[in-house]
Amino acid sequence: MTGTGRPPALVAVDWGTSSARAYLMSGEDVVVGSRSAPVGVSRAAGGPGSDERRAWFAAAFDDLCGGWLADQPSLPVLACGMVGSAQGWVEAPYRPLPADLTDLSAADLTTVRAGGGEVHIVSGLVKSDGLAGVMRGEETQVLAVLGSPEAYDVVLPGTHSKWVRAEGSVVGDFTTFLTGEVFALLAGDSILAALAEPPVSPAWDAFDRGVRVAAGPEGRTGPLGTVFSARALVLTGSLQGREVLDYLSGLLVGAELVAARDHWLQGPPRPLLCVGDADLSARYCRAARLVGWPDAAVHPDAAPTGLWRTAVAAGLVPVPHAPAATPHDADGDET
Amino acid sequence: MTGTGRPPALVAVDWGTSSARAYLMSGEDVVVGSRSAPVGVSRAAGGPGSDERRAWFAAAFDDLCGGWLADQPSLPVLACGMVGSAQGWVEAPYRPLPADLTDLSAADLTTVRAGGGEVHIVSGLVKSDGLAGVMRGEETQVLAVLGSPEAYDVVLPGTHSKWVRAEGSVVGDFTTFLTGEVFALLAGDSILAALAEPPVSPAWDAFDRGVRVAAGPEGRTGPLGTVFSARALVLTGSLQGREVLDYLSGLLVGAELVAARDHWLQGPPRPLLCVGDADLSARYCRAARLVGWPDAAVHPDAAPTGLWRTAVAAGLVPVPHAPAATPHDADGDET
């Protein structure tokens, strides 16, 4: 889909804990402008739910998207992520599972006034059966990759990795691994950090070694039982300081993948689709191939596509025409 | 053993990362004086191996034990723990496994001059087969509980929990779980901490709930896969803020125990002996009973007994008489 020349039809905002990214879109995969700012929810002023906080978000939104909206005040605006949490601009509810991401009721978007217009915020998802879980933002990224004819296992690596099980556009289950946050805590301020030196470039041998430990007999005690080896191996001279962090990364990513493979998947691994940050996803792909996935691929930048599809489902932008590749469509001017 | 009236025969020092505890001992279980100070290895001045650091340790030792030694300059002094690490007073080697804790060669004690006398430092243990591991200090505590006619599974709960496998006084294997440090990091500075309120007293129901999750089907993905529930359960109203930390503690202690039970023990659980801090050990005992140990008990304050037995093995104090309960012995004056 080219879409060149098509007029903007949506302002889409992926607004998370540490930053916000806004996209001016004219089609499902057509981003004609983008901006980002370090105005994540964790930076907001004022207490949760206060007038001060609402004013802070309104100002941050105006800085980020005001220029686009000054040109086209009628553009619909759709946002996802922690902006809809209790610490965000306005609290959006959670949708219970199973949730059809393309079947939205009025309750699935929460609206806040901004300048002369409105910002619609996508609901998160909540899982109550089994181990409780919540997500905000990932559900929108997931919509960018679901419904593909190919069958994938889907993971969204990150501070809080999410594994999602879906049929078509219906999310039936998900689970969360705190891998990224535990890595950051251990790498930043633990006895393991004391012996670590920042690597100049990724020490892939050390990463692979960590993955293999996690997937091997020594990994059966899980990450609590393996990570101290990052210290012991340095003290015994068989790991270098500059390898510590990548070895630790391999232990933790490997532990997540093995746990997901053995206790989350409902059959043998299918190709793994890693949705999210390219560098982190590359680690997951590499580790997945080491521990038995037949293939692994990265789908970066899923948020704008997912926001577009959500906007279509909500009627904020026109429903796309049926799949067609007429000469006219190929021009991409009006479809 | 009463020992009342027996003269002091050993100055024993358990010198760790955050503090040092010194004991004036007149028999294996007879502590006639004790002192502690926040002079752990992590507080030492000067770079590792520097004259400044050695002087800092000498001064800290003199503050702690100088009074006892002024009265009896010939008392032998034995220390264990991180004081023998590269960051400590003097670096003591690691003994390889298997290691008979009562069969010490000259290389198993490292000696440093202090004032007019000497301080002997116990070697740590190193495990090279399988997943590498090291310990310093725990080997000495272990000596206090080994050789018992009853068969135990032995754990030393702590920042870095150690599980030890031994026959008689010979340590054949051990492993380390980073449970305590991971708990402290998550409780102190993570997304889970954000919703936690300090409990007034332990929320045992929440702790038990965490242990049961760790030991149940939802716990199979391991701690990385369960800890986010401490947040989700609060957001969905089924866990209180003041319960978060004990629930998290239950998840992590439970994960350690289940992993040890299934992948470290070499048979069904025997009574669990928790060696170390009484409050933390009480948690381990409680959780152990929940996940299938037939019984669990705490052995606090093992360091002085272990240091005494090490001193006997090293010839620093007289070898005790053969077990006897003669009227003379019962007086405890001279045995």
Taking contacts as CB-CB distances below 8 angstroms, the residues of chain A near B227 are: 178
Region B66-95: what's the mean pLDDT?
96
Beta strands in chain A (DSSP E): 10-15, 20-27, 30-37, 77-80, 94-96, 99-100, 109-114, 117-122, 124-127, 133-135, 153-156, 161-167, 170-177, 272-275, 296-299
**Residue B61, H or E segment:** helix B51-71
Give the confidence band of A325 by pLDDT, cuts at 50, 70, 90.
very low
Of the candidates A250, A134, A135, the residue with the CA atom closest to the CA atom of residue A183: A250
Computed over every residue of chain B, the mean pLDDT equals 92
User: What is the amino acid identity at position B22?
Assistant: A
Q: Do A224 and B175 touch (CB under 8 A)?
A: no
Instruction: For chain A, positions 141-170, list CB contacts with chain B under 8 A.
Output: 159-160
Q: Name the percent of chain B lying above pLDDT 90.
A: 83
For the residues B68-93, what does the mean pLDDT come to?
96
User: Is 80 exceeded by the pLDDT of residue A148?
Assistant: no
Tokens 């946002």 label which residue? Answer: A79
Give the per-residue pLDDT at A321. 65
Q: What is the pLDDT of residues B221-271, one digit of tens each?
A: 999 999 999 999 999 999 999 999 999 999 999 999 999 999 999 999 999
What pLDDT score does A149 carry? 58
How many alpha carbons lie under 13 Å from residue A151 in its C-beta half-sphere?
9
Rounded Cα distance between A227 and A218, Å, is 11
- B296: which residues sit within 8 A by CB, 6+ positions away? B271, B272, B273, B274, B284, B285, B286, B288, B289
Q: How high is the pLDDT of residue A116?
A: 82
pLDDT (average), residues B79-100:
96
Task: Supply the pLDDT for residue B327.
Answer: 40
Q: Which residues of A touch B182 (CB under 8 A)?
A: 182, 185-186, 224
- pLDDT > 90? residue A319: no
Residues in chain B closer than 8 A to A96 (CB atoms) = none
Phi, psi angle pair for A110, to nearest 5°: -115, 135
Mutation site for A-interface testing, chosen from B160, B165, B177, B178 by largest number of A Cβ within 10 Å? B178
The arithmetic mean of pLDDT across residues B11-37, rounded, is 96
Distance from CA of A160 to the nearest CA of B (A): 8
pLDDT band per the 50, 70, 90 thresholds, residue A170: very high
Range A116-135 average pLDDT: 94
Percent of chain A with pLDDT over 70: 93
Of the candidates B186, B255, B246, B244, the residue with the CA atom closest to the CA atom of residue B214: B255
Distance CA B188, CA B204 (A): 20
Return the pLDDT at B146.
83
State percent of chain B over pLDDT 70: 93
